Structure 1
Amino acid sequence: MGGVFINYRRGDHSETVEHLYAELDRHFGRGQVFLDRPSIVPGQRFSDTLRARVDDCEVLLAVIHPGWTDVRDVSGARRLDDEEDWVRREIEQALASDKVLIPVFLDGVTAPRPAELPPSIRELVGRNGQPLRRTHWESDLAELIAVLEGLVRPDWRPVPAPEERGKRPGRWLGVLTAVLACAVLAGVPALPQDDSWAGTDVLPYTLGAALMSTVLLCAPFVAVAAVRLVRRSVDDLERELHAVRHRTYIRHTWPIGLGIILLGGYGAVLGDQGMAVALPLLLVLGVAVVRAAVTHLRLKKRDDDLWARWPHRLPDRVHRAALRRAVARLHVRLDRMTAPLSLEQREKAAWELDDIAGAVRRTEREAGRTRREWLSQDHPWLFAGYVLWLALTAALFVASGLAYAAAGEGTVRRYVVMGVAVLTGTALALGTLETAHRHQRRQRRELARQVTGFREGLLRRVAELSLPPRTKPTAPARRPEEYAEPD
Structure 2
Amino acid sequence: MGTIFISYRRSDAAGYAGRLFDRLRHWFDGENLFYDLDGIDSGDHFPQRIQTALESATAVLVVIGPGWLSEINRRVDQPGVDFVRREVELSLVRSGQGEALLIVPVLMGGADMPDEHQLHADLQATVAALCPINAHQFHGSQEDWDNQFVRLRERIAKAPGIPPPRFRAPAGSEQAFRVIEHSLSLHFQDPNSLLPRLRDSLGTGHTALCGMGGHRQNPVSPQVQPRVPRPVWRRLVVSGRDRRRPATGCPSRLRGGRRAYKSGRATSNHPQTLAGTPTNTLAAGV
Q: TM-score, normalised by structure 1?
A: 0.35
Q: 2:94 is matched with which residue?
A: 97
1:37 aligns with 2:37: yes
1:79 aligned to 72, 75, 79, which one?
A: 75
1:234-383 to structure 2, matched below 5 A, reads 242-243=191-192, 250-251=213-214, 256-258=224-226, 290=272, 294=276, 296=278, 299-302=281-284, 305=286
Q: Give the Cα–Cα distance (whole angstroms) in 2 for the partners of residues 260 and 132 of structure 1.
A: 60
Displacement of 1:248 after TM fit?
Answer: 8.4
Q: Distance in 2 between matches of 1:292 and 1:71?
A: 65
Q: Check if 1:147 corresponds to 2:155.
A: yes
Counterpart AA for 2:224: I
Question: Which residue identity does 2:92 align to in structure 1?
Answer: L
Kept in 1, the 8 Å contact 2:7–2:60? The answer is yes
Aligned-partner residue type, residue 276 of structure 2: V
Q: Report if the CA contact (8 A) 1:32-1:155 is conserved.
A: no
Letter matched to residue 107 of structure 1:
G
Contact 2:27 2:165 in 1 (8 A): no
Cα distance in 2, alignment partners of residues 296 and 147 from structure 1 = 47
Distance in structure 1 (CA, Å) of the matches to 2:193 and 2:38: 46
CA shift at 1:256, angstroms? 1.9
Partner of 2:62: 62
Aligned-partner SS, 1:138: helix
Give the Cα separation in 2 of the matches to 1:256 and 1:288: 22
Say which SS state the counterpart of residue 42 (structure 2) adopts: coil
- The number of residues matched between the two structures is 194
Is the aligned partner of 1:107 residue 2:109? yes
Equivalent residue, structure 2, for 1:331:
none
SS in 2 for 1:26: coil
Q: What is the DSSP-based 3-state SS (H/G/I as helix, E as strand, rest coil) of the residue aligned with 1:96? A: helix
Q: Which amino acid in the other structure matches residue 5 of structure 1?
A: F
Given the superposition, is the C-alpha separation of residues 86 and 97 from structure 1 closer, same or farther in structure 2, using an over 3 Å criterion? same
Counterpart AA for 1:127: I
Q: Does the CA-based 8 Å contact 2:215-2:279 persist in structure 1?
A: no
The offset of 1:253, in angstroms, is 6.9
Structure 1: stretches of 5+ with no match in the other structure: 157-161, 164-239, 262-286, 306-487
Q: Does the CA contact (< 8 Å) of 2:213 and 2:280 recur in 1?
A: no
One-letter amino acid matched to 2:19: H
Deviation at residue 102 of structure 1 after TM alignment: 0.4
Which residue identity lines up with residue 105 of structure 2 in the other structure? P
- 2:131: which partner in 1? 125
* Distance (Å, rounded) in 2 between the aligned partners of 1:51 and 1:4: 14
Amino acid of the residue matched to residue 47 of structure 1? P
Query: Hey, what's the Cα distance between the residues in 2 that align with 1:153 and 1:259?
Result: 46
Structure 1 residue matching 2:85: 3-state secondary structure: helix
Q: What residue is the counterpart of 1:463 in the other structure?
A: none
1: distance between equivalents of 2:133 and 2:116?
12
Contact persistence 1:8–1:62 (CA under 8 A): yes
One-letter amino acid matched to 1:128: N
How far the C-alpha of 1:32 sits from its partner, in A, is: 2.1
Rounded to whole Å, the distance in 1 between the matches of 2:114 and 2:226 is 75
Partner of 1:49: 49
> CA–CA distance in 1 between the matches of 2:225 and 2:273?
13
**Distance (whole Å) between structure 2 residues aligned to residue 18 and residue 241 of structure 1:** 43
Mapped contact 2:2–2:56 kept (Cα < 8 A):
yes
- The structure carrying a bigger strand percent of its residues is 2
Of structures 1 and 2, the larger Rg is shown by: 1
Query: What is the Cα-based RMSD across aligned positions, in Å?
Result: 3.8
Counterpart Cα distance in 1 of 2:12 and 2:279: 54
| Residue in structure 2 matched with residue 485 of structure 1 by the alignment | none
CA deviation vs aligned residue, 1:225-267 (integer Å, no higher than 9, x gap): xxxxxxxxxxxxxxx9733779989437789221899xxxxxx
Q: Which amino acid aligns with 2:94?
A: S
Letter in 1 for 2:74: R
Letter paired with 1:258: P
Kept in 2: contact 1:111–1:125 (CA 8 A): yes
Residue 299 of structure 1 deviates from its aligned partner by: 4.6
Residues 260 and 250 of structure 1: is their aligned pair in 2 closer, same or farther, counting only changes over 3 Å? closer
Q: 3-state SS of the aligned residue for 2:131?
A: helix
Residues 64, 81 of structure 1: alpha-carbon distance in 2 compared, 3 angstrom cutoff: farther
**Residue identity in the other structure for 1:301:** A
Gaps of 5+ in 2: 96-100, 167-181, 184-188, 196-209, 218-222, 230-268
Structure scoring higher RCO (CA < 8 A, sep ≥ 6) equals: 1
Question: Cα distance, 1:63 vs. partner?
Answer: 0.7
CA distance 1:290–1:71, shift in 2 (3 Å) = same
Q: Which amino acid aligns with 1:101?
A: I
Q: Counterparts of 2:228 and 2:21 in 1: how far apart (Å)?
A: 61
How far apart, in 2, do the equivalents of 1:127 and 1:134 lie? 22
Q: Check the 8 A contact 2:275/2:281 in 1, yes or no.
A: no
Q: Work out whether residues 103 and 128 of structure 1, in 8 Å CA contact, stay in contact via their aligned partners in 2.
A: yes
Change (3 A) 1:293 1:249: closer
Q: Is the Cα–Cα contact under 8 Å of residues 211 and 282 in structure 2 kept in the other structure?
A: no
**Partner Cα distance (2:42, 2:275) in 1:** 55
What TM-score comes out, normalization by structure 2 length?
A: 0.56
The answer (yes or no) to whether the contact 1:5–1:60 under 8 Å persists in 2 is yes
Contact 1:32 1:154 in 2 (8 A): no
How far 1:92 moved relative to its partner? 1.2
